[in-house]
Chains A and B, each alone.
Chain A
Amino acid sequence: MTAPSTLLDQLWSAHEIVRRDDGSSLLWVDRHLVHEGSHHAFAKIEARGLAVAEPDRTFAVVDHYAPTRNRARISDPKIKYMVDTLRKNARKHGLRLFDLDDPGQGIVHVVGPEQGLTLPGLLINCGDSHTSTHGAFGALAFGIGATEVAHVLATQTIWQKKPAAMRLHIDGTLGPGVGAKDIALNWIAKLSADGAQGHAIEYSGSAVRALSMEGRMTLCNLSIEGGARFGLIAPDETTFSYLGGRSYAPRGAAWNAALEDWSKLRTDDAAHFDREIRLNARDIAPTVTWGTSPEQAIPVTSTIPDPTVLTNGKAEAVRDALDYMSLDAGRPIEGTPVDQVFVGSCTNGRIEDLRTAAAVLSGRKAKVPGLVSPGSALVKAQAEQEGLDRIFVEAGLEWAGAGCSMCVGMNGDLVAPGKRCASSTNRNFRGRQGPGARTHLMSPAMVAAAAVTGTITDVRPLLKGRVG
């Protein structure tokens, strides 16, 4: 009889090669995803004369700097340099590259799952903090820095200390117009942006089980915004039916063997967690951020915090954030005018996200300009097949190519200084969408509602009589 174990325990022990006396584990890496930002790491292994240890388990994607328009000819020399450097490194080391013209190109955390590269039971690394996304499949997935990327390239392993185990259990049913993004902003506001530091979060409960894979990915993606490097959801039928037939997923006998192994990946009933948090889905309203940290989030029905009634330490941060965001304390957040909207990113750029935004925008006009950038070329093709692109364009929004785009602005898709953007992305940090840009994070449905009214708006009345 083995001791009861968590999903984290099971994944960890399956990948642990050695454990040092100081508690650091050397872990085997099944998939390593690289992008243009990995240039420092390639330079590091080059400087040591090292090759990529496992090119067949290393995949390269153009996403952070991917132009969303006119991508055949890149005019900005810095962007061209970044894309060309990745091309050169992929060619040199024999890596499968999802280049700008590849039908599978897109944001690395959208591409991995939809290509079937992301599977339950794997360990997945990428030099990007939102690698926690892949944990939605029951994989041990975490973001790493450039020195670690170089280490994985050279050895296909990573040194890591096992995080503490935390369970976020969400029962109940989400109301109409409320989704995974709202769950995430809700718990981060409660626990704070460093609330889950040092932990791997396993999401469980009926509200999590009811989420599609897209919703689960949104939830795990945002783990890092609450401080957790890892998010995890035990795989189930929803996971398996998403993966069946994907390009790189196992086939035939290997698929059957995989299903048998994956079905066992679940936390034992008696397993111990270092921390347990419980939420009820019915208490969660559409949620928006008002400040410059994801923890500064409130239900859309509520008022902007007033620093004069807060305790000292917090008051200063609130005052700074309100100043940067140019918002008045004590006013309702709903009705705040926005200058533009953005739908996209590794958080909310998948087909289901585009469907919910389109459900709100269908037959309506946007009062403000906006950009819709699908998470991948496959998502783009699917959306066009369903006619979603027409809905966005007829509403007055721009329909563009796939990439990280306006979430991080590296490709030149920027929010201008002082402008306010309703955004389906993951970070409302100062200057994240461009110097001086003001970001309000919310779900894609809420972004669509903001487009329709030109202000921050509760999406729920706009969904009456529609399938949201």
Chain B
Amino acid sequence: MPGWNRHSGHAVALPIHNIDTDQLIPSRFMSTRRKEGYGGFLLHDLRKDESGDDHPHFPLNRHRHASLLVAGRNFGSGSSREAAVYALVDAGIRAVFAPSFGDIFAGNAVNNGLLPARVSEDDYTLLVRILGESTEPADVALESGKLSVGEIEVSFSLDPSWRTKLINGWDDIDQTLQHVADIERHKTSWNQNAPWARPAAEAQRS
């Protein structure tokens, strides 16, 4: 996964609270292989009517080139499905700005290079007002934690470990393999100190 530090694109507002991962990608699409692409599933049932046609007024249908999303609180709550992040990333979204995020979603986002940026309620309201139903050119700077839309600039917060990971494009498995000796040591002492922690051989079923 390539790292990134700055991104210039267009921002769009989706002023809805509690956009859960079932809405980000309905479960019926989740048996799709990763390489087939998930972008077309993003917010599928909000974007499309029963016959599969796009709702003309839905923000992401009006502004397909947008790469920055401003959304309401508790974005990505619910299921742990990483497919919700795949749908965003494959649709070209690089960052989501919201007052709060589902914990599992936010971790998944960072693991796929998507920035889950926390903004204050006031800045969220400001961004929604500025963007309205249109889209504006916007710039994100990860290092300084700033989002600029036209003349205004807002700060976002991000866990420092996630910032480093996004900037460097780090992969957790590579990081962990540097600790193989520590892991082995822990495993040995845990096996000794908590012998009950290993699964017992399966008891014969009656």
* Segment among B58-66, B78-86, B140-148 that sits at the interface with chain A: B78-86
Chain A residues lying within 8 Å of B17, measured Cβ to Cβ, are 313, 317
Chain A residues lying within 8 Å of B195, measured Cβ to Cβ, are 250, 254, 257
CA distance A104 to B179 in the complex (A): 36
Minimum CB–CB distance for B148 against chain A, Å: 25
Contact with A along B171-200 (1 / 0, CB 8 A): 011011101001100110010001111111
CA distance A81 to B36 in the complex (A): 15
Contact yes or no, A427 B176, CB < 8 A: no
Chain B residues lying within 8 Å of A103, measured Cβ to Cβ, are 205
CA distance A381 to B112 in the complex (A): 43
* Segment among A154-162, A282-290, A393-401, A458-466 that sits at the interface with chain B: A154-162
Judged by a CB distance under 8 angstroms, whether A446 is at the interface is no
Chain A residues lying within 8 Å of B30, measured Cβ to Cβ, are 37, 410
Judged by a CB distance under 8 angstroms, whether B159 is at the interface is yes
Chain A residues lying within 8 Å of B120, measured Cβ to Cβ, are none
Contact yes or no, A417 B161, CB < 8 A: no
> If the complex has contacts A20-B161, A22-B164, A37-B30, are A145 and B196 also in contact, measured as CB distance less than 8 A?
no
Contact yes or no, B22 A119, CB < 8 A: no
CA distance A31 to B200 in the complex (A): 12
Chain B residues lying within 8 Å of A229, measured Cβ to Cβ, are 103-104
Judged by a CB distance under 8 angstroms, whether A435 is at the interface is yes
Minimum CB–CB distance for B114 against chain A, Å: 12
> If the complex has contacts A148-B107, A229-B103, A409-B28, are A159 and B176 also in contact, measured as CB distance less than 8 A?
yes
Contact yes or no, A24 B173, CB < 8 A: no
Judged by a CB distance under 8 angstroms, whether A51 is at the interface is no
Contact yes or no, B20 A429, CB < 8 A: yes
CA distance A197 to B198 in the complex (A): 31
Judged by a CB distance under 8 angstroms, whether A122 is at the interface is yes
CA distance A116 to B202 in the complex (A): 10
Interface residue count for B (Cβ, 8 Å)? 61
Minimum CB–CB distance for B81 against chain A, Å: 7
Chain B residues 12-68 with CB under 8 Å of chain A are: 16-18, 20, 22-23, 26-28, 30-31, 33-34, 45-46, 50
> If the complex has contacts A257-B196, A429-B78, are A81 and B202 also in contact, measured as CB distance less than 8 A?
no
CA distance A251 to B108 in the complex (A): 38
Interchain pairs with CB closer than 8 A, number: 196
Contact yes or no, B77 A48, CB < 8 A: no
Contact yes or no, B22 A431, CB < 8 A: yes
* Residue of A65, A147, A150, A156 touching B112 (CB-CB under 8 A): A147
Judged by a CB distance under 8 angstroms, whether B74 is at the interface is yes
Minimum CB–CB distance for B74 against chain A, Å: 4
Minimum CB–CB distance for B79 against chain A, Å: 5
> If the complex has contacts A145-B82, A431-B22, are A96 and B161 also in contact, measured as CB distance less than 8 A?
no
Q: Which of B105, B176, B198 has the most CB of A within 10 A?
A: B176
* Residue of A117, A121, A148, A150 touching B199 (CB-CB under 8 A): A117
Nearest chain B residue, comparing its CB with the CB of A122: B197
Contact yes or no, A157 B100, CB < 8 A: no
Minimum CB–CB distance for B29 against chain A, Å: 10
Contact yes or no, A18 B182, CB < 8 A: yes
Minimum CB–CB distance for B119 against chain A, Å: 14
Q: Which of A81, A103, A245, A435 has the most CB of B within 10 A?
A: A435
CA distance A202 to B100 in the complex (A): 22
* Residue of B31, B81, B104 touching A81 (CB-CB under 8 A): B31
Contact yes or no, A17 B198, CB < 8 A: no
CA distance A18 to B186 in the complex (A): 9
* Residue of A81, A155, A194, A227 touching B183 (CB-CB under 8 A): A155
Chain B residues lying within 8 Å of A429, measured Cβ to Cβ, are 20, 22-23, 78
CA distance A292 to B46 in the complex (A): 14
Chain A residues 199-252 with CB under 8 Å of chain B are: 224, 227, 229, 245-251
Chain B residues lying within 8 Å of A192, measured Cβ to Cβ, are 74
Contact yes or no, B200 A251, CB < 8 A: yes
Judged by a CB distance under 8 angstroms, whether B160 is at the interface is yes
Judged by a CB distance under 8 angstroms, whether A198 is at the interface is yes
CA distance A145 to B195 in the complex (A): 29
CA distance A430 to B25 in the complex (A): 11
Minimum CB–CB distance for A301 against chain B, Å: 25
Nearest chain B residue, comparing its CB with the CB of A410: B27
> If the complex has contacts A146-B82, A409-B28, are A254 and B182 also in contact, measured as CB distance less than 8 A?
no
CA distance A261 to B192 in the complex (A): 13
CA distance A233 to B79 in the complex (A): 22
> If the complex has contacts A81-B31, A122-B197, A248-B199, are A430 and B78 also in contact, measured as CB distance less than 8 A?
no
Contact yes or no, B80 A194, CB < 8 A: no
Minimum CB–CB distance for B123 against chain A, Å: 14
Q: Which of B79, B111, B176, B187 has the most CB of A within 10 A?
A: B79
CA distance A249 to B179 in the complex (A): 30
Judged by a CB distance under 8 angstroms, whether B152 is at the interface is no
* Residue of A155, A227, A247, A257 touching B202 (CB-CB under 8 A): A247
Chain B residues lying within 8 Å of A22, measured Cβ to Cβ, are 160-161, 164
Minimum CB–CB distance for A56 against chain B, Å: 7
Contact yes or no, B182 A151, CB < 8 A: no
* Residue of A20, A28, A410 touching B28 (CB-CB under 8 A): A410
20 A/B residue pairs, CB under 8 Å, sorted by A = A43-B33, A56-B199, A82-B31, A128-B80, A129-B104, A145-B80, A147-B82, A148-B111, A151-B176, A155-B176, A156-B187, A161-B161, A194-B102, A197-B100, A198-B103, A249-B200, A254-B195, A261-B196, A410-B30, A430-B22
